[in-house]
Every structure is written in structure tokens, then in C-alpha cells.
């Protein structure tokens, strides 16, 4: 039996020897170059908006929170030191904002199955090749999962999104949350266990491929 | 019998140890040595292989549901952020100008001059407010002290006049 195709072997992070483009842009922004900061926003807004969208399930709230993150970074620009990757710094600010209780209250507890609200993305994950039935099923499953996400703690949800949506490594997540890598692993396992239980309650079966 | 139970227990512990690695394995987070150890165990252990398939199914479902979406051009926040930055910079430039005047290391003379002006202004302004009612003398509202000062025109300064009266009063 071959299992090797299942694991997506991650290249372990190399020690940083040079200042990367993000850090150069941030250092230029600290010197008053606003265009460089605009470039940083352009480069990373997608990841930050996605993070908050998965977190709050509301695109407008996600955009507002993302602006807040970039403004906080800009206001602290003179204290910035390129000691870690810029994205680690960026998601540390985002994570801290996300686990703030005020934001947690804004998050809807449950996502309605049918909505005309233009602020709510339809999280269809099906590809164009799917039949309408398959697409509808995939969409429904996604909604169940989004709903089940609300049963997780703030930290569990944040870490799960960093892993599944942003594909961040354990080391990157640990840098952003201030936890150890083994703590990140434990948080992810706990989150998945809870989700599995929730999906079981909602009668969502996860298709298991037989070898 | 006792041996069997002991064997079952150690097998369970072993499974649990390997199950803990499955999530990290799927994320590609295990190092080469751990990966080899787990893969050789999975070859022999059908229970752990089944657990891996269940874990992989959930992994796939979550990856699909939480997938990264391209940001719609209408959701671009760059201009909004830059607009707010210009506001921040406007506020900061006023604050910077004031703090530059107070920077004792580089401009002590300017800082002393500004502090002296503020001190003088703070000392003189209240006197104007005292004088104001005397200047606008009316039948209904008159400051007797101020009127006395204007009528008698004492030789000492206005400040000394008020100071003496306050000391006498005590």
C-alpha cells in the first residue's frame, strides 16, 4: 500500500539570510514611503481578507478588519524590525484582532442555508466540471462546515484557518500566535476532533477513499 | 491471558502515538525520520492505515470548504488604507512640528523661548479677565476692586495691588 502520495511534504523553512521584498517595502514605509506600504497592502490583502472572511463569514466585516490590521501596522511602522518574515508579523496582528472578544460577537452564530445577502459569499467549492447536483452538495457541505466552525474557540478557529485557508506551516502559525509548534499541532487536532463531532451531528459524511 | 491484555494495551498506546502524527503527516510537517517511521508502520498496520484514510478525508473536506478565494477587484482595500494613512500623516505632521520645538537636545533656545511665551501668556491672560468687568462698568455689574483701582490709580503695579489686598484680607 502506498501512502506517500497523501502527504504533501513541506520544505522546512531555511534560516533567513537576506532581507526579502516584503521587509524592504516595510522598511521603506517606515521611512515615509507610502507607495511601498500600498504595495504591501496589494500583495497581502488577499490573504488577510480571506482569513477574516473565513473567521467572520462576512465579507464587509472582513474588509473592515483587514483595513484595521494594515493601519495598525502602519502606525507602528517606526518600531518595525526585520527579524521575522513580514507575514508572521502581519498575521500576529490579525490573530490578535481576531481573538478579540468584540469581533467574536460580530460573527454570526449560524449561516442561513439560503441568503440573498450580497455581503455573504457563496462558498461553493465545486469545480466547473461538476454537475449541478454535485455543486449543490458541495455548497451545502461547505455551509455545514462554516456553521460548525462557530463551535470552535477563537484560537482553534484562527489556527485552523491559517492552516487550511492560508496553507501556513506550523512554524509560521506558531510565530503568529506566539505558541509552540506542538501547541499548534494540538490546537489543530482538537479543532478537527470537534468539527468531526459537529459534522456527525449534522449527518455530514466525509467520503473516505478505499485504498 | 494477562500477557494478552498487556500486549493489547501496548498496541493501543502505539496506535495512539502514530495517530497523533497523522495530521502533521498530511500537512507535510514531519521530518524525514518521522515520516519514514510512520510510513513503515502504516505498511504493516491496517488500523492506522484506516485512521489515516479517515483523517485524509476530513483533511480534503476542510481544504475544500476553507479554500483560499481570489479577492474580487471591488473588494480591494488598498485605496481605502492609503486614504486613511494620509489622514494619519496629516495629524502626525502637526504633532511632529510641535514636538520638534520641544526637542531639548537640538533646539534648547527655541524650546525655552516657547516655554517662556506659554508661561507669560498664562500669567497675563487672567489679568485681562479680571479687568474686563471694570472696563465694561454698568449699574448692575461692577467689580468693586477693579473700580477702586481705576479711581485711586495707585502707584504700584496691578499685580502688587491685588497681592497686597489678598494678604491684608487674611
Domain-embedded: residue B95: yes
Domain-embedded: residue B150: yes
- The three-class DSSP label of residue B84 is helix
Domain-embedded: residue B3: no
> Of the candidates A95, A91, A115, which has an alpha carbon nearest to the alpha carbon of residue A155?
A95
Q: How many helices (H) and strands (E) does chain A have?
A: 9, 0
Domain-embedded: residue B71: no
Round to whole Å and give the CA distance between A163 and A170: 8
Mean pLDDT of B85-102: 74
Inter-chain CB proximity B31 and A12 less than 8 Å: yes
DSSP state of A202: T
Query: What pLDDT sits at residue A100?
Result: 78
Question: How many angstroms away from the CA of B93 is the closest CA of chain A?
Answer: 12
pLDDT at B95 over 80: no
Q: Name the stretches of chain A with pLDDT < 50.
A: 14-17, 108-128, 211
Instruction: Calculate Rg over the CA atoms of chain A.
Output: 19
Domain-embedded: residue B88: yes
Same domain, B159 and B88: yes
Nearest CA in chain B to A126: B64
Chain A CB contacts of B24 below 8 Å: 170, 185
- The three-class DSSP label of residue B130 is helix
Domain boundary among B65, B90, B105: B65
| Percent of chain B whose pLDDT exceeds 70 | 55
Query: What pLDDT sits at residue B17?
Result: 82
Same domain, B94 and B164: yes
Identity of the residue in B27, B57, B70 whose CB atom sits nearest the CB atom of A209: B57
Question: How many angstroms away from the CA of A82 is the closest CA of chain B?
Answer: 22
Round to whole Å and give the CA distance between A4 and B24: 14
Domain-embedded: residue B2: no
Question: How many angstroms away from the CA of B104 is the closest CA of chain A?
Answer: 21
Mean pLDDT of B12-20: 79
Same domain, B23 and B58: yes
pLDDT at B108 over 90: no
Residue ranges covered by each domain of chain A? 21-109+152-201
Longest pairwise C-alpha distance within chain A: 58
Give the residue, B122 or B151, on which the prediction is more confident. B122
Same domain, B47 and B90: no
Boundaries of domain holding B51: 8-65
Inter-chain CB proximity A141 and B30 less than 8 Å: no
Same domain, B109 and B147: yes
Say if CB A157 and CB A143 are below 8 A apart. no
Query: What pLDDT sits at residue B71?
Result: 84
Mean pLDDT of B92-96: 70
SS3 content of chain A, % helix, strand, coil (to 5): 60, 0, 40
pLDDT at B155 over 80: no
Identity of the residue in A75, A161, A208 whose CB atom sits nearest the CB atom of B54: A208
Query: What pLDDT sits at residue A122?
Result: 37
- Cell numbers found for residue B65: 470548504
pLDDT at B38 over 60: yes
Query: What pLDDT sits at residue B161?
Result: 56
Chain A CB contacts of B63 below 8 Å: 164
C-beta neighbour count of A55 within 10 angstroms: 27
Domain-embedded: residue B26: yes
Domain-embedded: residue B74: no
> Of the candidates A65, A29, A49, A54, which has an alpha carbon nearest to the alpha carbon of residue A142?
A54
Q: Work out how many CB contacts closer than 8 A connect A with B.
A: 140
Say if CB A174 and CB A181 are below 8 A apart. yes
Same domain, B98 and B128: yes
Same domain, B140 and B90: yes
User: How many structural domains is chain B composed of?
Assistant: 2
Q: Domain A21-109+152-201 carries which CATH code? A: 1.10.1740.10
Q: What are phi and psi of A172, to 5 degrees?
A: -65, -40
- Cell numbers found for residue A185: 499541532
Amino acid at each position: 500500500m502506498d501512502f506517500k502520495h497523501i502527504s504533501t511534504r513541506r520544505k522546512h523553512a531555511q534560516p533567513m539570510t537576506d532581507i526579502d521584498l516584503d521587509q524592504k517595502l516595510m522598511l521603506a514605509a517606515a521611512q515615509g514611503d507610502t507607495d511601498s506600504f500600498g504595495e504591501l497592502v496589494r500583495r497581502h490583502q488577499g490573504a488577510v481578507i480571506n482569513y477574516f472572511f473565513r473567521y467572520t463569514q462576512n465579507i464587509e466585516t472582513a474588509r473592515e478588519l483587514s483595513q484595521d490590521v494594515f493601519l495598525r501596522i502602519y502606525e507602528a511602522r517606526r518600531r518595525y524590525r526585520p527579524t521575522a518574515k513580514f507575514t508572521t508579523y502581519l498575521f500576529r496582528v490579525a490573530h490578535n484582532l481576531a481573538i478579540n472578544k468584540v469581533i467574536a460577537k460580530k460573527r454570526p452564530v449560524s449561516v442561513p442555508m439560503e441568503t440573498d445577502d450580497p455581503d455573504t459569499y457563496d462558498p461553493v467549492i465545486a469545480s466547473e466540471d461538476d454537475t449541478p447536483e454535485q455543486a449543490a452538495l458541495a455548497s451545502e457541505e461547505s455551509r455545514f462546515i462554516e456553521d460548525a466552525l462557530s463551535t470552535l474557540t477563537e484560537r482553534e478557529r484562527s489556527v485552523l484557518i491559517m492552516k487550511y485557508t492560508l496553507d501556513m506551516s506550523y512554524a509560521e502559525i506558531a510565530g503568529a500566535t506566539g505558541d509552540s509548534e506542538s501547541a499548534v499541532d494540538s490546537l489543530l487536532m482538537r479543532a478537527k476532533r470537534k468539527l468531526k463531532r459537529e459534522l456527525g451531528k449534522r449527518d455530514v459524511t466525509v467520503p473516505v477513499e478505499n485504498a | 491471558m494477562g500477557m494478552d491484555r498487556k500486549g493489547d494495551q501496548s498496541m493501543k498506546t502505539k496506535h495512539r502515538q502514530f495517530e497523533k502524527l497523522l495530521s502533521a503527516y498530511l500537512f507535510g510537517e514531519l521530518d524525514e525520520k518521522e515520516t519514514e517511521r510512520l510510513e513503515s508502520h502504516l505498511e504493516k498496520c491496517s488500523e492506522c492505515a484506516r485512521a489515516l484514510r479517515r483523517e485524509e478525508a476530513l483533511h480534503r473536506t476542510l481544504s475544500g470548504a476553507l479554500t483560499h478565494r481570489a479577492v474580487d477587484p471591488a473588494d480591494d482595500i488598498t485605496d481605502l488604507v492609503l486614504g486613511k494613512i494620509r489622514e494619519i500623516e496629516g495629524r502626525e505632521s502637526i504633532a511632529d512640528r510641535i514636538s520638534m520645538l520641544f526637542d531639548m537636545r537640538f533646539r534648547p533656545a527655541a524650546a525655552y523661548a516657547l516655554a517662556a511665551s506659554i508661561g507669560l501668556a498664562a500669567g497675563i491672560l487672567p489679568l485681562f479677565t479680571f479687568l474686563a468687568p471694570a472696563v465694561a462698568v454698568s449699574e448692575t455689574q461692577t467689580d468693586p476692586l477693579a473700580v477702586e483701582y481705576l479711581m485711586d490709580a495707585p502707584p504700584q503695579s496691578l499685580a502688587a495691588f491685588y497681592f497686597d489686598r489678598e494678604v491684608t484680607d487674611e
